[in-house]
Structure 1
Amino acid sequence: MATYPTSEQLLVIVDPIARRTDGEAVRIAKDVLSAGAPTKLCLPEDPEEFTRVLARRGSRRPVVIGDDRALVRAVSLLHRQRELAGSVLSVVPVGPAVSVARALGVPTGTVAAARTVLDGAVRRLDVLVDDSDGVVLGTVGIPPVRERLPEAVPEPEGARPWLRTCQTLVRTLVPLRPARTLTASAPSRLRVEVDGETVVDLDRPVDAVSLTPGSSGTALVEVRPASVGSDAAPVFREGRTVSVSGADFRYHADDRVSGPVRRRTWTVLESAFGLTLPAAGQVY
């Protein structure tokens, strides 16, 4: 892995969602970065301006302060411009969802992530690219897991009218967040092919399919059949190209749910881009 000269200029792009959700973490990240290297700070107000700023980065190394959605947006833009292979990104995870960045090895602590930008090393990572030119950094899940709103809390017996009024006001000002993952949809009939070989066909219902970019130019594929008994054991494969087809299905990838589609093919793009990660032996 290669390291950076401390004199390299950074283009620090602060995602608007990060500014709204955790302004203090954004401030800390900016202070650490500006103390360690020359920086140009950009505060885009929407995704379109974010895209324009990144496209005009010049020779500066882009640093994204934001969540998984901002990271995926940056990688996707560079891929569409066919500049991903020659690009290196750094990210300081700030925002409501940072699981993809964490899975890639980026520290989620603000100070540790900012110091990694300054002192870390570049690691080349594989990504998945689908047949609609979409980029996936993490895991593709088919079907996406359902979510539901939490059940309402029962009102205490004998609650006074003023208490009911206060509870109503609180519910209005602070909307309930959806509960985390619950249960997947009913078994699906899908054909899953890995490098042209059929792993499971339409006559065998499956509960779930997942694929994740590995580290050597192949995707890790897991198929969970819906059958009972010994046939219910997960099936694992590795391959460069994964195709899923069948009745209309949706899938979850990184920050979004896509579909319905009847067929989607993902191909591994080996060593697709560079991401700044902690160098060997670094402890913050």
Structure 2
Amino acid sequence: MVIDPVARRTDGESVRIAKDVLGAGAGVKLCLPEGPEEFAKALVKRGSRRPVVVGDDRALLRAVAVLHRERALASAVLSVVPVGAAASAVRLARGLGVPAGAVAAARAVLEGTPRRLDLLVDDRDGVVLGDVRIPPVGPQDASAGGAGGERHAWLRTCQSLVRTLGARPSRVVPGGPSRLRVEADGVTLVDLDQPVEGVSVVPGGGGFARVEVHPASVGAEIAPVRARARLVTVSGPDFRYRADAVVTGPVRTRTWQVRPQAWGLTLPG
């Protein structure tokens, strides 16, 4: 059991409960890494033991990334007990089907069933478990309905980026839609001549990703463009994107490929 240091600092009581429940039901080797390097070493040196991560979404993502780099995802099955400072910190784990609460999640580790899940891998070997959002809509805004909610989220994101970047030169222009080329399995869904307000790429199961593009509209609303694809490429002027909990960029092009049933996660039966 690898307990992320952030979890120990933010919610020691939930960590203690998880340890007690798991320790009562199985033999447990406890690892208390102090940082990302020790966290990675604990996973790499796990031997034949089943890895259990106690921590938030970033800890889960870090664990999958480590196993992916070690080319061990095919043989390993991860278990996770979500522990974070707020509900938004464990939104990804909950969305994947992991129960809320330390007791329920720990029992799922002991009694659950391994499930194989699809994964997105980008052209820099980065992994995505949940979704990609362009522009990088925050978790609290991701469920905002309709083009209006996404437009407001886009404006808030750009304003935040301007404050953060300060005087740094950037091609990200606040207050307007992005101009991007979005290709799904080689087919262009939208080109640079059509501004877009948002793009999402989500592992959809069956070896395909669900791609949704929201074109910008003036007056009459334009319906989203949707597709299923194994390979998705986004390119254009410098843009930022959020992959799960991490914002990356600016970049000019990025490609995501679906890896069917690439990783295993223990979920309630």
TM-score (norm 2): 0.85
Query: In the alignment, which residue of structure 1 is the partner of 2:185?
Result: 195
Structure of greater Rg: 1
Structure 1 position 37 matched with structure 2 position 26: yes
Percent identical: 67
- Pairs within 5 Å for 1:1-40: 12-40=1-29
Give deviations 1:196-250, integer Å, cap 9, x for gaps. 0000000000000001001110001110000235561111110000000000000
Structure 1 position 248 matched with structure 2 position 238: yes
Query: Which of residues 106, 125, 138 in structure 1 aligns to 2:117?
Result: 125
More helix by share: 2
CA distance in 1, matches of 2:193, 2:222: 14
What is the identity, as a one-letter code, of the residue corresponding to 2:154?
Answer: A
Change (3 A) 1:182 1:21: farther
CA distance in 2, matches of 1:201, 1:40: 53
What is the identity, as a one-letter code, of the residue corresponding to 1:262?
Answer: R
Query: Which of residues 77, 80, 103 in structure 2 aligns to 1:88?
Result: 77
Structure 1 position 259 matched with structure 2 position 260: no
CA distance in 1, matches of 2:219, 2:211: 21
Structure 1 position 70 matched with structure 2 position 62: no
What is the identity, as a one-letter code, of the residue corresponding to 2:250?
Answer: P
CA distance in 2, matches of 1:94, 1:275: 16
Note if contact 1:145-1:182 (Cα within 8 Å) is conserved in structure 2: no
Structure 1 position 52 matched with structure 2 position 41: yes
Q: Secondary structure at the match of 2:192?
A: coil
Aligned residues: 235
What is the identity, as a one-letter code, of the residue corresponding to 1:193?
Answer: E
Give deviations 1:43-74, integer Å, cap 9, x for gaps. 10111100111110000000000000000000
CA distance in 2, matches of 1:204, 1:243: 16
Q: Secondary structure at the match of 1:266?
A: strand
**Unpaired segments of 5 or more residues in structure 2?**
140-150, 156-175
TM-score (norm 1): 0.80
Query: Which of residues 184, 188, 191 in structure 1 aligns to 2:154?
Result: 184
Q: Please provide the CA RMSD for this pair.
A: 1.5
Give deviations 1:245-268, integer Å, cap 9, x for gaps. 000000001121001110000000
CA distance in 2, matches of 1:82, 1:58: 14
What is the identity, as a one-letter code, of the residue corresponding to 1:266?
Answer: W
CA distance in 2, matches of 1:125, 1:260: 29
CA distance in 1, matches of 2:219, 2:18: 52
Change (3 A) 1:247 1:77: same
**Unpaired segments of 5 or more residues in structure 1?**
1-11, 148-180, 280-284
